[in-house]
Every structure is written in structure tokens, then in C-alpha cells.
Structure 1
Amino acid sequence: MGATAWVNFSVALDSDPLERLEAQAELERRREKEWIGKQRDARLTPDMSRREVAAVRRQIRVELAAKRAAGELGGSRDLLIARALREELRARGLDREWPEPPEGEVDAPGRRWGTTASKNMGEGGYEERLSVKLPYALAETIRRAAFWTSLAAVEALQEWDERWGRAGEVVMRDAKLAGVPEQQAAETAAQRPSAPRAALEARDRLRAQVLTVGDLLRAAVDRTGRPGQQTEVPGRV
């Protein structure tokens, strides 16, 4: 893939972090605009030819790109989130080369096997959805980091499902998360054996160890909206 390739993501999140991100992005856009204006004022003169003006403007664009790459300027939400993601990866010890996962694993639609949504959309859950565009290399890093970091927990969840996945309590809890009518879920659950409390607690602990791309994106948005502050890194990672 080329260095300029970008990958689109969509992530559900709370409104407060998104508002802080928007405010920070607006500040960064102003900083960029001021920097560009100062460079033009300092380098362009009325006696320049059109070719000379074009050359100066081109050089300013090159320098702007370099400052964006270095994290000195970031005039868009995507640039801010990309910068914060790199910081988040470093904070979690995940900023490294990851092997390629088995073919098709990171491209599968929906949530990772064995996980549920951290919160539903709508009342009582996430209020907003954000579209994010990331450089291809960074997108691959977060996908691979999430896959390999979570692999042991996912495999343990698969083993758990083979033993307890048809238990009545599991059916009821998963049905509630999925929005299935309670009566319908109860009728299905009544026909299945019960998982002991210890088994359910073990499943919850395993699910808490699964890191998703959405987790990383939400952490980056929160980090972006709080300049100069370190986002707390969960102990599970």
C-alpha cells in the first residue's frame, strides 16, 4: 500500500469526548491557518512572478506536511486521532511490529468472537458515532495489536462456549444486550441448562481481556480531547 493510503473506521462513543475532540480540532485548524498565513506574509512579495509564488506556496505545503507528520500541527480530527492513537499504543506497550494475523481474521464484519458491545447505542448507551480516516500503516497496527493481544482470551471464550454456551442464564443476558424480547428469550432459556455463577464470572473476566479496535479509537478520542493529560490505561492490556 502507498504511504498516502487511508482506511475508514466508524466508532460509537459518548458525546462529551466527541465535543472535546471537536473543540481541540478547531483550535488546531486555527493554529495551522495562522502558521500558513505567517509563512506567506514572510516569504511572498509583490514583485514575485507567478512561478516564484507557486514555488513558495509549494514549499509551504511541504513544510506543513512535515509538521503534521511530526505532530507539531494537526488541523483535522483525523490527524489528531492518528497522533493520539500512536500515543495510546506507546502507553499500552503496543507500538511495535505485529505479525500478520491469519487471513480474513481482522477483516471479519461485526464484533470480535465472544465479545458484546461495551454499550448499546441510544438511551443509556453511546450517543454518537464518529467516522475516522487513518493512514493504512496505523490502521494495520491497531487491527493487529487488537487481534494478537486478545487471542488468548478469545480462544478461552471459545472453550467456554463449548461447555456453557447454551446455558439459560447466558441466553437471557445476551438476549438483553441484543434487544431480544424478554418473553422470547425466557422461553428459549427455559429449555437450556444453567451455568453456575462462577462460570459466568469467568466469562466476564475473559471478555474484559479482549481489546477491540473500538476500544483503542475511543481511548484515542478521549486522549485527544484532554491535551497534556495521560489517558488511564486499563490493567488488562
Structure 2
Amino acid sequence: MEYDDLGEDEDTSTTKVTVRVPLGTRLALTSGLERHQAWTRQLTAHHRAQLKGLTPPQKDTLRAEQRHALRVLRSHGRLLDKRDLLFAFGVRQELQARGWDRSWTGVDWEEIPMGLLPRAIGNSYPESLSLYLSAALVELVHAGCWTSSQESIRRLRQWHADCAAAVLPSRAEPQGGATAEYKRLAAGVTTTGEVYRAGIRRGLHAALHTPTPPPIKALAPR
């Protein structure tokens, strides 16, 4: 898992998260985006046609209404025509399903490791995707993973100290008989990659299977 903080202020900062994903994820992403982008192109043309013959103040009012309508569709997952929008929607859905979309009072942010180890053993994800998520959303993922996994992570750290195996933080996999013990302890950890992959699946499912908004002609004024 890789992170790059791209923002400058606390409220609008964006974090780039690179996630390993199963084969075929990129193709599914392309299909889902194309489906919704085709509808957006029709809607854009329809909106332009509505502006013809209006006065400047009327155009400003209608444009504001059009922008609001788009925001509503996107925020509810009805229109997922942008890559980052699709990812963010799916991750939010996953956080809600886990009960993690809340304020994490009492969390020691200084203690949370950015990579949130360990990585899964035996799982191979040949593709990678870069997600550009709000820093606040990334913090929710870290807080949820850390809170649900901190005892297991502490036990893994103790195991590492006792066995002198370079598992944490080098992330090298243990060998021989140590592997079984490591797997047992690691099973108690929810990694950020696991949460992001689940969020990506939710976003893709919504983009590929949720009905797009009504046909454009149904939106035309009578």
C-alpha cells in the first residue's frame, strides 16, 4: 500500500492510495465508467439546449440547478462517471457497512502505522489502481483498521521481537514453521488494502449494475 499526500490544507487535501487488485479490475472499471459517461454526454447536450433563448440571469439560475442535480445524482451513486468519484463512493459504502463512518474519538493518530501491516500471505493481485481520496476518508479507513486490529498488531510486533524475523516493518514473509504462527496472528488484522479492495468492488458493482438515471427525454421540460 502506498500513500502520497497531495493536498495543502486540512479540509481539501487529497491522498493518493495505490492498491493491488485482482486481474480484470481495470477492464471492469473502464466498462463501468463508459456506461455512465455516455449518459453524462447526453445530459450535457440536453442542458446546453435548455439554455438557448434565455437571458443571462435565467442561464445562471438554470446552470446552478443543473449543477445541483448532477451533485445529487453523483452523491447517491446514481451517476458514477468519474474514476475518483466511483472509488470514493465504493469506499464510503464499505465504511458504512463496517460501521466505520463515524467520529473516531480517542484514537491515537500518532500510533497508527501508515502502511497498516501486515500484508496478506498467499494472495497475489497482479493489477494496481491509484485512488485519489479525500484525506478525511483515508483517515476513516486507517482509524477503523487500527481500532479493530490493534491488539493483533501488538501481538505481531511482540512475535517479531521474540523471533527476530523481519516481518514488521520490512514486510518480508517468514519462512518454515514460523509461517503458520505468523498467519494465525495476521488473520486478526484488517488491512487497509482489504478495505480499499472491498470499496472498489462496491463502486464497480454500482457502476456496472445500478440503473443509470432516466432517459434524457424524460428530463426535458414539458
User: TM tier, shorter chain?
Assistant: 0.7 to 0.9
Structure 2 unaligned residues grouped into runs of 5+: 1-9, 211-222
Change (3 A) 1:164 1:211: same
50, 61, 66: which one pairs with 2:72?
Answer: 66
**Shift in Å at residue 51 of structure 1?**
4.1
- Alpha-carbon separation, structure 2, partners of 1:224 and 1:8: 17
1:1-237 to structure 2, matched below 5 A, reads 1-2=10-11, 4-41=12-49, 43-46=50-53, 48-99=54-105, 101-106=107-112, 108=114, 111-113=115-117, 115-116=118-119, 118=121, 125-166=124-165, 177=173, 197=177, 200-227=179-206
TM-score by length of 2: 0.73
SS at match of 2:148: helix
Output one character per residue of 1:96-119: Cα deviation in whole Å (capped at 9) or x when no partner. 3223642434464xx334x23556
Matched pairs, number: 196
- Alpha-carbon separation, structure 2, partners of 1:126 and 1:62: 38
**Shift in Å at residue 157 of structure 1?**
0.7
The structure whose Rg is larger is: 1
- Alpha-carbon separation, structure 2, partners of 1:23 and 1:44: 31
- Alpha-carbon separation, structure 2, partners of 1:22 and 1:36: 20
Output one character per residue of 1:30-83: Cα deviation in whole Å (capped at 9) or x when no partner. 223333333443x3232x234432432233113212322232222111111111
**Shift in Å at residue 151 of structure 1?**
0.5
Alpha carbons 2:86, 2:204 under 8 Å: kept: no
- Alpha-carbon separation, structure 1, partners of 2:56 and 2:121: 56
**Shift in Å at residue 204 of structure 1?**
0.6
- Alpha-carbon separation, structure 2, partners of 1:134 and 1:116: 21
Counterpart AA for 2:150 = L
**Shift in Å at residue 200 of structure 1?**
4.0
Change (3 A) 1:26 1:105: farther
Output one character per residue of 1:193-220: Cα deviation in whole Å (capped at 9) or x when no partner. xx8x4x6423212212212222111112
Structure 1 unaligned residues grouped into runs of 5+: 179-188, 190-194, 230-237
Output one character per residue of 1:143-184: Cα deviation in whole Å (capped at 9) or x when no partner. 2111111111101111212222349xx8xxx75x59xxxxxx
TM-score by length of 1: 0.69
- Alpha-carbon separation, structure 1, partners of 2:121 and 2:196: 13
Counterpart AA for 1:57 = R
| Backbone CA RMSD of aligned residues | 3.1
Change (3 A) 1:49 1:32: same
Change (3 A) 1:53 1:156: same
